[in-house]
Structure 1
Amino acid sequence: MANKDLEGKGAIITGSSRGIGAATAQLIGERGAGVVVNYRSKAPRAKKVVKGIEEAGGKAVAVQSDLTESQGTQALVDAAVENFSSVDLLILNASGGMESDRGEDYALTLNRDAQVNMVQAAMKVMPKGSQIIFVTSHQAHFIHDVSTMDAYEPVARSKRAGEDALRAMTPALDELGITLTIVSGDMIEGTITATLLNRAEPGAIEARREAAGKLYSVEEFAAEIAALVNKPGLGQAHTELVGGAEDFLARSR
């Protein structure tokens, strides 16, 4: 029986129709929060996530929204308020930029600008004691010190720009009593990013698996994200490094 510590809370999880976002949504729903499941274009997948949460006794609603459009971020906030009365938790999981069909500025638009816009929209309604979690990767978090694969570099730089932009917002978040938490993971087995990277640079996943000792599955990483929700004693802008960051830390000293 899951701990119902999020009963009565409203949560938005961006990019939650599949992968890490979907697995995190399931865990948050099991803890009693009403979850806004966000998808860009795949409605059936999002509805399946909602169904999974409801079957486990939770509450959820699927909302179509492209975060790179300003009305997209507002639609998620409105849905959380309408369905669950508040936004107490915002998990910024949506990211991308390896898609070849979205234009050259897409990575920065999604991984930095859309994240900031989402936080600005949510901050207006988030009560004191709320939490924002930004999900990133070691490849992005350490990009200033440790180089990454060529195919991933624009994405890594844009995600780090997003992280830096959110960190710059902490004085405003402090005033509102909202905590920002950064969670950084290694490459995750079976995600679309890992698949695209391995296609661009065959052997990339195997090399990371060797360097890290092990790579997390989607479910394992989602559990680490969920474990930071409502965790007591987290400082403002705390960074949680999940699994296999030792070689990054050693190279960035």
Structure 2
Amino acid sequence: MSEPLPAGSFNGKTVLVTGSSRGVGADTVRYLAAAGANVVINFRNKAPRAEKLAREVHEKHGAQTLVVGTDLTDAESVASMMGAVKDVFGGLDVLVLNASGGMEQNMGEDYAMRLNRDAQVGVLDAALPLLGPGTRVVFVTSHQAHFIRTTPTMPEYEPVALSKRAGEDALRERIPELAEKGIDLVVVSGDMIEGTITATLLERSNPGAIETRREQAGKLLNVAEFAAEIASAAHEPIPANNERIVGDTSSFNGVS
């Protein structure tokens, strides 16, 4: 992977990436560690995978790491994670809200909204005592969610899209409050990403969906490419309307 961040640009800084034991989150951790960051690797299950990533970035880049298993929908679990971050690193410079879901089976009818809206706000609230002036929050979403008000998505993904848009809206409402504290917020929206769990689940429930979207867009980013955009959003100046829109949007109607 080519490095999207200047060498040393995160020296001495601490970054927490939710849902970072695999996929986009893991590659985001890799990029930030390569730029010098201390990294907090958050996972829900599969601890060995998270520990393996921690060893990798420590051995390759000398990154100081903290691996924390957390149920982001459980306030006590989130509070425990933030307590561990405070104990180890003292504070946070960047919070990347990457974890999402809602297509899983047997998680309850309201799981998408609890994870993609309520938990995002809950994690931000729990992190606020660790975030000071000059820090940043990055919220990761999809075009299918970001533009859901004006462009319908496939039925299988609609509950996730609606809940992620609700999460984005709830976080955007906090921008003035965060700005008063010197904390920036940026939304990163990307199209369907090749190789993610969500893409796999969509393809399973709607065969041909990914190929159809690829033909419409001309190209879909892979996991590493989208992670590079997220890592860049943690470093570059805040764009207009606090949003970084990645890739083709010609199939999406209206404004965000």
TM-score, length basis structure 1: 0.95
Task: Give the SS at the match of 1:88.
Answer: strand
2:165 alignment partner, one of 135, 138, 160 = 160
Query: Following TM superposition, by how much is the alpha carbon of 1:237 offset from its aligned partner in structure 2, in angstroms?
Result: 5.3
What is the CA deviation profile of residues 141-175 of structure 1, one whole-angstrom value per residue up to 9, with x for unaligned ones? 00000000000000000000000000011121011
The answer to whether residue 51 in structure 2 is matched with residue 47 in structure 1 is yes
Matched, 1:114 2:119: yes
- Is 2:227 the counterpart of 1:247? no
Query: How far is 1:246 from its partner?
Result: 2.2
1:179 pairs with 2:184: yes
- In structure 1, stretches of 5+ residues that fail to align are none
Counterpart position of 2:77: 72
CA apart distance, 1:85: 2.0
Aligned residues of 2:136 and 2:183 also touching (Cα < 8 A): yes
Q: 1:14 to 1:237 in 2, by over 3 A?
A: farther
Any idea what SS the aligned residue of 1:196 has? helix
CA deviations on 1:193-246 (whole Å, 9 max, x unpaired) are 0000011111100011011110011001001111112213x1585111111112
Deviations 1:50-107 (A, max 9, x none): 1111022212121010000002222232222222221110000000000011000100
Q: Cα RMSD (Å) of the superposition? A: 1.4
Residues 66 and 72, structure 1, Cα contact 8 Å, conserved in 2? yes
Which of 30, 34, 42 is matched with 1:38 structurally?
42
The answer to whether the 8 Å contact 1:86/1:126 transfers is yes
Residue 242 (structure 2) pairs with residue 238 (structure 1): yes
* DSSP 3-state at the match of 1:179: strand
Q: Write the distance in 2 (CA, Å) between the matches of 1:168 and 1:210.
A: 35
Superimposed CA distance per residue, residues 122-142 of structure 1 (whole angstroms, 9 cap, x where no aligned partner): 112211010000000000000
1:1-253 equivalence runs, <5 A: 3-56=7-60, 57-232=62-237, 234-235=238-239, 238-248=242-252, 251-252=253-254
Determine the C-alpha separation between the residues in 2 that align with 1:207 and 1:235: 30
1:45 aligned counterpart, secondary structure: helix
Q: Hey, what's the Cα distance between the residues in 2 that align with 1:133 and 1:236?
A: 14
- Counterpart Cα distance in 2 of 1:43 and 1:237: 37
Residues 9 and 86, structure 1, Cα contact 8 Å, conserved in 2: no
Kept in 1, the 8 Å contact 2:90–2:130? The answer is: no
| Identity percentage of aligned residues | 52
Name the aligned partner's letter for residue 12 of structure 1: L
Q: In 2, distance between residues paired with 1:10 and 1:219?
A: 21
In 1: Cα distance, 2:246 partner to 2:58 partner = 29
Quick one: structure 1 residues 161 and 81, their matched pair in 2 at CA, closer, same or farther if it must change by over 3 Å?
same
After superposition, the Cα gap between the structure-2 partners of 1:55 and 1:183, relative to the gap in structure 1 and judged at 3 Å, is same
Query: How many residues are paired up?
Result: 250
